[in-house]
Structure 1
Amino acid sequence: MEHWKEDWFFGHQFLNGSNPRMIQRCRKLPSNFPVTGDMVQDFLSPNTTLDKELKAGNVYLVDYAILDGVPENVIRGKKQHIAAPLCLLYEHPDNGLIPIAIQLEQNPSKDTPIFLPNDPPLAWLLAKMWVRHAEFQVFQVLSHLLRTHLIVEVFCVATLRHLPAVHPIYKQGATLNPGNPPPEHQRATSPEF
């Protein structure tokens, strides 16, 4: 709890958090993320460059392009905002996986700055929070809802529709289906209130 603002913990969560699927090794920066070596040189280990680290496989990218163009919600007349950030991370030999650049939109422009760790502390913290917000959106909708519940639902419905009731898989599915109560001998008894 006391480390949530720290860069090493931010990087740690990409591999050990709820959704480690988004991080990818980066050998070449995408054209819509104009980070230069000079911008991030201070955050790399001494005697190296961004190009060397890209070639060595020590740079990673998390790209939330899937959120680009998602319409914002309106709550009580106020437009809610959503970001589609790009986050560049570096495997520092001493500090672990740390963020070194964040862009909050997919299309760079003069109104789309690239945030760096040496920016004012609250600006850098806010940029990291927007990345976490995007991570939460992708995790809940894609990884959790789609790739867990909705995929499994297809098999549950197919099982219940196409297998005979005496089939062992059908029986197991019916037992686990919350819409169908378990057989009498499997029901737990609870006191009535």
Structure 2
Amino acid sequence: MNINQACKLLNALGKLISIKDGYIKEEVPPYENYYKLEKNKDKWVYGLWMCERENTPYMKVVKEFDNEAEGVKYFFLDRLSSYYFLKKVQPFMMEHGELDIGGPTFDKNKLYQAMSILKIPSSLSVLEKSEIKNRAIMLTKEDETNSVVSFVDGRGNVIQSTIAIKNQRALFIAFKKIYMLYIFENEIINLLKAQGIANDFSEKDINIFLS
């Protein structure tokens, strides 16, 4: 993926992006902070351009990359993740207050109710490796009060895991990752295939979108 491809795809999806003087950035109202990716000497730098209420704007660096392709992929997936969370995940949570997603009464039953409403296949959520048939989010109990949320590939390899966290927090993270994985598998992958670049994205790259 290059800068032009990332810009074209993000704009096509409704996330406004522009390319200026060799760097790629979010389009936001004047004087608002925005994310950008630019070349700095021999590195590509991704970060938040801090200009809101700042006399001297500056870059708050998030990550650095050795080449354009890796930097652009990260920019694309990170900004796309934020866009879809605001466009789909957050509105669903607000529309279904009865599920109390992220709240004190949100439990596994309500997680499965949310998946049912969204028509998300049950195979995207597993409790142990023996259940894995495809990419999925695995929720495993560490003890009575803590759980671990993992992104696993179709062969059961763990791509990324959280530390052990409180069950309520783990359930919310699991919901978000399951929904985002569903979006990736049903929307994003088709766009990448249409551009002939789907094979450029590894499981670790997909994890950026889920984060």
Shorter-chain TM-score above 0.5: no
Q: Which has the higher helix share?
A: 2
| TM-score (normalizing by structure 1) | 0.29
Of structures 1 and 2, the larger Rg is shown by: 1
Query: Structure 2 length normalisation: TM-score?
Result: 0.27
Between 1 and 2, higher relative CO (CA 8 Å, sep ≥ 6) is seen in 1
